[in-house]
Structure 1
């Protein structure tokens, strides 16, 4: 065949879709991939179309299309609905010689088309997955999600609180337990003392944001972060008396699914970057108030080091289960 067509919602794009498109390429010189969408789709169209572009832009044999799904086919028998779809295909892709699909509607669709319908893996033997199953529980079907799609479903957990409460240690422990990566605290690499200009703290905020965006590409289902931009703003306010607009904008670029607020019931360990040992209770209240002011979900983590790890682990597991 010269031209084939693959169409679907790709919500999300998964390895079954990729196998179908590769199958179509084995038959055709060129494959048109058409993504249907509605304004109310649970995964926005621009994100899904972006995934297709990232994977296929460099392939000259594939052409990508978007199509608004405004068919008045709700409640219609499949035989009637597929007739409507066939009319759309005839009008939009008149020179297509074959339609490739891996859904049961391919059979009734074939009765209305003036081109061949080629069915692929209807019983999900080669790739045992569906987009519905992934949306229901992406973590159970993680291996079927392409690498570039995974960040959309990756949860972000921020280890949060004032100085010397064990954020760094707990971040690393959780990342090891959940077999994933973490975003460390950039400020620890950038500063050797607490004498610095405000430009430096803005740079730290920029680098911390960039690091989270980089690490989420590598994460396995969940990413743990040793700090966040609220923390950066709190210390900026303490040292300089105000928070520059740049840090507020950076905060909006990264959101977290869960904050683990670490209590101050741990020994104070001094170092050259810690200034607020005498104000631990005050700083803890400040950190807590900033979360509550933003209505951000958080869980208080306290106790000895082992108790903290167990409590944090359970909260992350609860989040991943969706309850």
Structure 2
């Protein structure tokens, strides 16, 4: 039986002192809430614990009892709960339940969860040692918070789709294609206003259901859909405006230094120039840093790889360019 079904109320507490590099409180809060939406998730820092009057937070290396008494204080003074059970897959669970029983003057049970043992056993320590190598051990909605998302923008006929595919190959990961173009072809070139929001939603759905490695390359974003909605219909759905605020770790804008090529789906050179200017103005107004790439596909690719943070460290997944 899942833990959530065994409880009237499930509380997940997460803290670390010192903080673990790459696993900030904000990141832990986001993926725990995504993974366990029915639970009450409390992720906090040492500063917050002191502000609540339950500090100082014990250090990670402190003895087990220090943490047990600290959590009991947290339950009493912050959460205002008296737990009836603790769920762990560790030997320390028995002692944890005993300390809580002493604090609350009632029996607190330890529900022992089963886990693998031996050299191949899964543990938080193992996963934290290389979240990308052991990504198959965590839920996709958790791993998504450790993927560096790259968005490629550019006007019509600026080579962004070609660049997106080349970059994904170089990084050994996935590229999310532009759904708006597919929708345009489905509609035989006659998009309607209601298509705009659906295009942006589908684009993001493809991003969230992808199975990338370390990086995810996105050929366009809802910001592009917002441009077309405004350009074609003079307005945009409020929901589309919200989706256009989607965050990407790296934003790349392709220069319009390629000769314009009409493939039957594009408008004209003046429209491309108008679109390029809109991207620059909009990204600047939103205070979104972007990498402006010029030249050949190879030159653009090298510029991105040279500026990519974090830099690729797994040579087995970085292809020669």
- TM-score tier, shorter chain, comes to 0.5 to 0.7
Maintained 8 Å contact 2:32/2:41: no
Shift of 1:168: 1.1
Per-residue CA deviation, residues 233-278 of structure 1 (Å, 9 max, x unaligned), is: 32333334444545323323x3222211101121221122221314
247 and 202 in structure 1: CA distance in 2 versus 1, 3 angstrom threshold: farther
Match of 2:13 among 36, 39, 42: 36
TM-score (norm 2): 0.66
1:133 aligns with 2:128: yes
SS in 1 for 2:27: coil
Is the alpha carbon distance of 1:132 and 1:86 closer, same or farther for their aligned partners in structure 2, counting shifts above 3 Å?
Answer: farther
1:185/1:208 contact within 8 Å kept: no
Partner of 1:196: 190
- 1:242–1:117: structure 2 CA closer, same or farther, 3 Å change rule? closer
Give the conservation status (yes or no) of the 8 Å contact 1:36–1:66.
yes
CA contact under 8 A between 1:156 and 1:256: conserved in structure 2? yes
Q: Which piece of structure 1 moves more, 224-233 or 256-265? A: 224-233
Residue 304 of structure 1, CA deviation: 1.2
DSSP-derived class of the 1:82 partner? helix
CA deviation string 1:155-190 (max 9, x = no partner): 322111111111111112222333332322222222
Residues 126 and 132 of structure 1, relative CA distance in 2, 3 Å threshold:
closer
Report if the CA contact (8 A) 2:68-2:100 is conserved. Answer: no
CA deviations over 1:198-238 (Å, ceiling 9, x no partner): xx254144233223223332231322222222222323333
RMSD: 4.4
- Matched residue, 1:74: 56
Alpha-carbon distance in structure 1 between the residues aligned to 2:228 and 2:57: 57
1:128 deviation in Å?
5.2
The answer for the alignment partner of 1:223 in structure 2 is 216
Residue 175 of structure 2 corresponds to 182
Give the alignment of 1:19-34 within 5 angstroms: 34=11
**TM-score after normalising by structure 1:** 0.65
- Once residues 198 and 135 of structure 2 are traced to their aligned partners in structure 1, the CA distance between those partners, rounded to angstroms, is 30
- Seen in structure 2, the aligned counterparts of structure 1 residues 67 and 249 have a Cα distance that, compared at 3 Å, is closer
**Residues 1-323 of structure 1 aligned to structure 2 (within 5 Å):** 34-36=11-13, 41-43=25-27, 45=29, 47-52=31-36, 72-74=54-56, 78=63, 79-85=65-71, 92-94=82-84, 96=85, 100=88, 102=90, 109=96, 112=99, 126-127=121-122, 129-130=124-125, 133=128, 138-139=131-132, 142-192=135-185, 196=190, 200-220=192-212, 221-252=214-245, 254-278=246-270, 280-316=272-308, 318=310
For residues 158 and 55 of structure 2, what CA distance do their matches in structure 1 show? 58
SS at 1:43 equivalent: helix
Q: Aligned to 2:251, what secondary structure does the other structure show?
A: strand
Instruction: Give the superposition deviation at 1:295.
Output: 0.9
User: Residues 242, 177 of structure 1: CA spacing in aligned structure 2 closer, same or farther, 3 A cutoff?
Assistant: same
- CA distance in 2 between partners of 1:231 and 1:201 (Å): 14
Task: Report the number of matched residues.
Answer: 277
Question: 1:320, CA displacement in angstroms?
Answer: 6.3
CA distance in 1, matches of 2:133, 2:57: 31
Distance 1:296 1:131 in 2: 35
